[in-house]
Structures are given as structure tokens and as C-alpha cells.
A and B are shown apart, each in its own frame.
Chain A
Amino acid sequence: MRGILEAAIYVPRWRLKTANISETWGQSTAKGIDEKAVPAADEDTLTMAIEAVERLFSNSTADRNDVDHVAVATTTPPLAEGDLVAKLRTATGLPANVRTATLTQHTASGAEALATAIDRDGLSIVVCSDYPVGIPATTDHPLGAGAAAMLIGEDARTAVSSVGWYSLDAPGIRFRTADSVQSLGITNYERETIITAVTAAMENTATDRSIDYAVLHQPNGTLPYRIARSLSIDTKKLSHGLVVKTIGDAGTATVAIGLLKALSEATTGEDTLAVFYGGGTAAAFNCTGSLNVSGLLDFDETESLTYATYLRQRGYLGTEQITGGGANVSLPTWQRSLDSRYRLVAGRCPLCDSISFPPDGACQTCHERVSFEHVPAEREGTIVAASVIGHGGAPPEFTTYQQRSGRYAAVIVELPVGDQSVRVPAQLTDIDTDEVAIEIGDTVRSTIRRIYEQEGVVRYGVKFTPNMKNRQTD
């Protein structure tokens, strides 16, 4: 049976409590949400997608080279135009000839990605990655972040047996203008419309209402209960997949993350219903079985932000662009080095067997001009030199980032390559350098983040996160 073979989630480390929002604004529109996930200053929907896919493969026996289809859904792509799947594919080392698809525009786009993968042959990757952005005074309150990645193929542990659809014109219900999510707040009309669509989609599947778990469209923590009651589904069946309470409304990723969490708690033979809704379209999936899901510790390993830090980190408070420009690494040069920047590809010297990074120029040990054998370094390594860069010590192209992130750590990491090692300079991320001392000898793990932006082009590359070992697997 075709379905979900493997899966992983990624939720950013930082959390903002709804209580902090209420304290600031006098009220909150984040109903039924205790706290929400907040991306770091160097994260976006692409970096979250990459991390989810890396986690998927870190616990998988599947071969990346067998993948022939990658579909990514998000309402908030990092650029208004441009294929983020091409970047995701390159960063994760998937084959260059995979069929790519970017689904966007509404929060049921994840359903479109998943349904397409279910309906075809071959090995597909489906990623739902999102962090919608709103107006801080109102619509931003519930908006969170997260990503889910699924490997779709035959002989799946979780079979996806039935997909039902329904769409209707639904003017004025959650939509996004140029830069932020809007809502007209006409709640009764909104609720009724969503319930109509969701009910119809569910009725268009072969699902009966005796399902064991239900993961329903959850833009807040209360609407799923109203939908369940309307569908006569026992609301106890919602709890496993009601992730909006702790990660917020992560756009098209919320139901996908909720589905994976519910499947990780289901047992063989149990049925889980997942219903996406977005922009007038609803889609329901009936899934049977259970699943090992990587990354579930992200629900527990969190750190809280103050509201002011949240605004600064997400750039709501504004940042300065240094007019002088920055170090110029030309785009062709950057492109040529992407394997090293994304996947730590180093060079083994054919003469002396030692490792050079980057794999370019003469061997750094025997100094002979050689053609290196390209070998990726391991993703986990050890800090061998460290500095925390204060405001006087950052290059201008990092000014904007530093204004959002605060002081950051710049380190040299030693990474194993076979029985040898190589050193790579990089930043640490997901660490509050005011709270945590960085020590030589600490182990760190690579991740892909936004490095800096020049001429409107975001340069992505490797950074390292501390103590990621526990976050890697469930």
C-alpha cells in the first residue's frame, strides 16, 4: 500500500508564550494557544525544510538517490519568486533530476503536495514548512512555525488510503496581502465556511467516523473542537495531533506536524484522519498505521523569549543596512562552492591522503597541486577555537543579522572525515551567548541557515547548533 514510509519534523527552538503577548497588547487573538514556535533570526521556511529532510534521512534506510519527486508546501516562501525546491534539493544532496513542485498560496497547499505524492509512482519527498507573518497588534499573535517532511512510497508503514476534497469560494477568510496575514475577523461566517468545507471533504473520503485520531485544521486551539463537535467526532481524539497549542499556527505545516505526531503515538491498524483547510479548499486524508518520527524532542527542548526579544529576532523592530556593501563573494564563486557550504564537502589528497577544506587549490598538508577526491565531512564535530562577536567585531554584512540575533558566536569546528579531520569556520546558532558559555571541546552539529544577504540575494550555508544530539531523534 502506498503511504508514508518515514517522517521527521522540525520546530524552531524558541517559544513565545501567549501570556507575554497578552501582557503587551492587553489581549491576544491566539485562542487556545499556550505558546508558539519562533524561528531564529537566520531561519526561514527553506532552512526549516532542509533540517526536516536531513532528519528524515538521518534515521532512514532509504537512499537519497532513489528519490524522484520533491514537493514543498509553504504559504511563506523566502522569496516571492524562485524555486526553493531547487535549493532544498541541492542542500540535501538529492538527485538533480528529481521532479520538483512548490505548492503555496493557501494553508491546504500541504494537502496538494501530499495528495500528488500519494497518487504517483516512485519515491517522493513531501515537505510542509511554514511560518506565516502577521500584524504584531493582531493577526501575528497565533502565528507560529515548523516543518514536516515525509517520504512517500510503496509498502508503507502508514497507508494513506483515501483522500477527499471540497472547495468553495470563501472571500475574506484568512488571506495574506503583500507581506502579512490578514483577517476580517468575521468569526461566525468564517467558522461556518470552514466547517462546511472540512465536513464535505471528509464526507468525500471513504472514512467513517470511527477513526481513532483526528488532526483537524487548527489556526487556533479552539476551532478544531468546534469542527469535531460539528462532525460528531469525540474531541478526545484530537489531543495527539493538536500541536497548535505549543507551536502556534504554522500555516500549512500545522496539520502535517500534527498528523506525524499523532501517527507516532498510534498503533498498527489504527486510523488517523487529517484535514487541511486553506483559502476555500479542504482536503481530508485517511491514514492507517503508525510511524517512527524524528525530531519530536523539539516539542520539549525549547527556550522562551521575551516579547521584546521576539520582536527584535523576527525583525519587527527594524534593522540597519550598511550602505558600504560587504565582502564580495561573487555569485558564481558562491554557487561553485555550494557542496562545501551545504554538505561540508572536503577534499582528500590523492598523494598524502590528508584532508583539505575547501577542496580547492594545493593540498594544505603536502602542498602539491592535486585533484582532490571529494568527501563530505561528518555533520557533528568539536569546537577548537571560539569567539563571541560583539557589536564592534562584526563585519558590516552581518550587522543586520546581529541586530536581530544579538551577539553571536564564531567558531572553528573540527569535523571527522574518515580517520582524519578537517577544520571549518562557522557561526553557532540557536544559542543565547549571554546565557550559555561556549567552550572549546563542545560538540556541535551542522545545520543550514541564512548566512547573509547581499543585493537582495540570501546566501545560505552551514552553521552549527550546540547540544543537537538529543534533538536529532525521538
Chain B
Amino acid sequence: MKDVYVIGAGQSPYGSFPDETYLSLFDTAFDSLLRSVGDGFSPGQIDEAYLGTLGVGGRQIGLSAPAVTEYVGLHGIPTTRIENACAASGYAFRQAVAAVRSGMADVALAGGYEVMTDTSADQTKWWLGVSGEMEYERMSGTTFAGVYAQMASAHMKKHGTTVEDLSRVAVKNHANGAKNEKAHLQFDCTLDDAVNAPLVADPLNLYHCCPTSDGASAVLVATSEVARELSVPMIRVAGTGASSGRVGLFQRETLTRIPATVRAATDAYAEAGVDPDSIDVAELHDCFAIAELLAYEDLGFCERGDAGAFIRAGETNPDGSLPTNTSGGLKSKGHPIGATGTGQIVELVSQLRGTAAVQVSDPTYGLAHNVGGSGGGATVAILERVEGRR
């Protein structure tokens, strides 16, 4: 199999943009991507595209991905739309990597887009939580806030995790996102703010839940031959993993882990030949604060049950042993569902190139972790900076 390199990554701002469409947002992301690749590359080199979206709001329910590639002038290339809920573009990235590895493509585009804030309140409510298990879980009156709240309740009961631990995730991610000019919620919050916000689904309050956002992101992966011709640092896709799980939380063997994450991480670490200690920076799927804490454990960053202590000790702060969500994460940077997975790659590329707004000191390995729903799907990607700028 061929080695695969990330030659560029870009995103639109995340936020609420009533003047934009999913097409124009992707156009912005694509511009940002091309600037990131730099000179010596032409969009005509792109052989194949994989784009993730849930399709919130309806709009172009069928064939929205070809509509996007045609809109940005990638005329005629094979384009596949991927829907795996919030992990849509994590999976799109994996498919693009597979296309290059297999030799089917020399350059493949992975990306995602979502517009979530321009519909009526009723329409928005309709689309919330449509990726939960519909027949029983949703019919118990839950959207994802409720399901993640149930996971939080079980983790708190089993491991003594506290509301303050959950709130520290918000404080950290907002502190990072406040410095990210493309983040949706660019403000700091205090621990007091985050502990005392209005309840959404007990024990989760407003500060334990990510926003709904508009946005798009795009990444290019290519063969080493293509990458070497460019003037940007070489970032290798060291490993990818993906796994599925029961869509309903009640159907899984555990309430305090996301087994799909564990399996995806195991595969990604094995393929990269590294262990969790090697990871220097990570973008984690913090749709709800408990999700970031579960990810610490599921990805092997800390022992089972120790996630609360791990964040309390500051290990995941930018100056800690394993900085997480330096972009602001889903909580502060925002969560335009289909764009989130490749949006995480955008931050890792910035970190590995040394150009991030909240820059970690000289990282070699970056990890991106993207979850669909409450764990029906998950991807883990590990990127490696293999040499400096040439």
C-alpha cells in the first residue's frame, strides 16, 4: 500500500451565517484549502472526492456532494456523499486515504459541510437527534443531550466524576477557541459560568453542550510523489481506524465507554505503530463535555475512570502532557455536523506545521477522533510530521 500525505487543509469560519449556503461555505473552505497547499498545485489534479454531511434542514437531500464539487469547479470528478452522522467527514477522510493508498487516486479530496442555523426553530428541533436509535431511544424522549447525559450519569456514579470535571472541559476548550479566529464561540468562560449554566439534560447544562453551527472544511490527501513536489511540510497519514457500534446506547455492553472509539483507536495505533504516549496533540469529539472525558479513557490517554483527575491535573491544557482541542473543539470552535471530522484535520495540520493559534511545542504526532451519534460510528486518524519544511 502506498503512503498517504495530507498536503493541505482548510475551513470556512464556523458560526451562524444567514447569508451563506452550504455551497458558498464549502467554496470558502476550498479556497482556504488551496491556500494551504500553496504553489505548485492545481485543482485539476484532484481525482476523487468524498464529502460528509448529515443534510440538516433538508435542502438538497440527494446529490448534495456532486452539487458542491461542481460549484467549486471540480467538474466531472467522481464524488461520493458520506453520511455517518457527526462522523461523516471522519469517514470521508478515511475513504480519501483509502483511495490514494489503493492507487485508485493520486489526489483525493475529503471534506464536509452543514448549515444548521438558518431554519425555523421548529425545523431545527426536528433535525436534532435524528441520528439516535429512532425506534426506542428517541421514543424515550431523548436527543443526544439526553443520551450523553445518561452516559455522564453512569460515569459519575461509577467513577465519581463531577459536574466540575465536566465544566473544566468547557473552560479549557473555550480558552482555546477564544484564540481561534474561525471558531463559532470565541469567548472565554469561567468555571463558575460552566458549573452554573441552565440545565439542558441533567447533569449536562448549556456549557456542557456544543452549539449547532454552519460551516465547511476540506482536506487533500495525496501520494508521496505528489506531496514531494509541493513546498509544504510533509505530513503522513500514519494510521487510521474506524469502527461501528450499536446505534442505541441501551444496546451496548457498556454505558461508560464508547466501544467504537476503543476499536477505531486500537486499529489506528497499530497501523501507526505508536501508542497513546506518543501523541503530542489531539482533536477530540467533545459534542458534550462527557464525550471528551470518555475519549481520554477510550483513546488510552489515561486509565479507566481517571478522566476527571486527568483534566483536573491540567494534562490536556495547551501546556500539559497531552493538549486536546487546541482549536476550541466542538464546544467552542463549533459543530457543523458534516464538517467536523475534516475540520479536526485542519487543526492537526496547523499544529504539525507549527502555525496553530494555540500552538503546541514541536509536535510530531497528532490524533483526530470523530464520533457519529452517541457511538454508532467512530474514526481515529493519526498524522505524523515526517520532515520539516523543504
Quick one: which of A386, A399, A440 contacts B125, CB cutoff 8 A?
A399
Quick one: which of A324, A387, A427, A459 contacts B202, CB cutoff 8 A?
A387
Cα–Cα, bound, A459→B203 (Å) = 28
- A335 shortest CB reach to chain B, Å: 12
Question: What chain A residues lie within 8 Å of B127 (beta carbons)?
Answer: 324
A390 and B126 form a contact (CB under 8 A):
no
Quick one: which of B141, B147, B203, B204 contacts A427, CB cutoff 8 A?
B141
Quick one: which of B126, B130, B198, B248 contacts A425, CB cutoff 8 A?
B248
A410 within 8 A of B: yes
Cα–Cα, bound, A333→B138 (Å) = 15
Chain B positions 248-279 with a Cβ under 8 Å from a chain A Cβ: 248-251, 253, 255
Cα–Cα, bound, A356→B250 (Å) = 10
Cα–Cα, bound, A364→B246 (Å) = 8
B248 and A329 form a contact (CB under 8 A):
no
Cα–Cα, bound, A395→B145 (Å) = 10
Cα–Cα, bound, A322→B123 (Å) = 8
- A432 shortest CB reach to chain B, Å: 14
B219 within 8 A of A: no
B42 within 8 A of A: no
A461 and B139 form a contact (CB under 8 A):
yes
Question: What chain A residues lie within 8 Å of B150 (beta carbons)?
Answer: 385-387, 410-412
> How many B residues, CB 8 Å from partner?
46
Cα–Cα, bound, A385→B250 (Å) = 9
Cα–Cα, bound, A156→B68 (Å) = 76
Binds A, one of B151-159, B166-174, B323-331: B151-159
**Which of B125, B154, B157: most chain A Cβ within 10 A?**
B125
Quick one: which of A384, A386, A394, A440 contacts B143, CB cutoff 8 A?
A394
Given A327-B138, A358-B136, A461-B139, the answer on whether A384 and B122 have CB atoms closer than 8 Å is: no
B201 within 8 A of A: yes
- Residue pairs across A and B with CB atoms within 8 Å: the count is 136
B246 and A324 form a contact (CB under 8 A):
no
Given A392-B206, A395-B125, the answer on whether A425 and B134 have CB atoms closer than 8 Å is: no
- A356 shortest CB reach to chain B, Å: 8
B154 and A440 form a contact (CB under 8 A):
yes
Question: What chain A residues lie within 8 Å of B123 (beta carbons)?
Answer: 324
Residue of B at shortest CB range from A321?
B122
Interface string of A360-381 (1 = CB under 8 A from B): 0000110000000000000000
Given A322-B122, A387-B203, A427-B140, the answer on whether A392 and B145 have CB atoms closer than 8 Å is: yes
A positions within 8 Å CB-CB of B: 322-329, 333, 337, 356-358, 364-365, 384-390, 392-396, 398-399, 401-402, 408, 410-412, 423-427, 440-441, 451-452, 459, 461
- 5 nearest A-B pairs in the assembled complex, by CB-CB distance: A324-B126, A387-B149, A385-B150, A393-B201, A388-B202
Cross-chain pairs A/B with CB under 8 angstroms, 13 sampled: A324-B126, A329-B135, A364-B253, A385-B153, A389-B149, A392-B145, A395-B128, A395-B129, A410-B140, A412-B150, A424-B136, A451-B139, A459-B139
